[in-house]
Amino acid sequence: MNHFQKEQTPTLNEEEKNIRILKLRQQVVANVWIQAIAGLSEAAAVTKLYYLEEQVPGSLEIVHGVWIQVIGTILEAIGLSEQLVTEDDSEFFYGQRHAVTGDWIQSLGGIIEAVGGERVLQDAIRQRDEDLVP
């Protein structure tokens, strides 16, 4: 079977389909919370490295970018959790707003981290060029 073809599943009645959807949504929410916890661990480690290693141009942006991504992931996880526990349409949309806002914040953090990484790379290239003996 082609990877892009829709997987064939036995015909489900409406209740079975709803149960399967709920379980998959719960799995998604759990995975995003795991990402948030892992992100917190990464951010703490990156921060400790920042204070222990030589601080080069761009390294602070990396630290800030990682923390901003963590904030976004936590907000996304909160929003997804809100969607999962409510049956009220307005609260569901409120949860969606949190999740989407979290996605935007994560994207912003990724951009800031990438800019910092580029500055670190450029500094390393410049340092190497200065150390070369013709």
Q: Write down the pLDDT at residue 6.
A: 62
Contacts of 64 (CB under 8 A, 6+ apart): 109, 112, 113, 116
Q: Write down the pLDDT at residue 67.
A: 98
Q: Write down the pLDDT at residue 27.
A: 97
Residue 46: which of 69, 71, 64 has the closest Cα? 64
Which pTM does this prediction carry? 0.84
Query: What is the rounded CA–CA span in Å between residue 134 and residue 126?
Result: 15
Tell me which residues of the chain have a pLDDT lower than 50. Answer: none
Q: Write down the pLDDT at residue 1.
A: 52
Q: Write down the pLDDT at residue 116.
A: 97
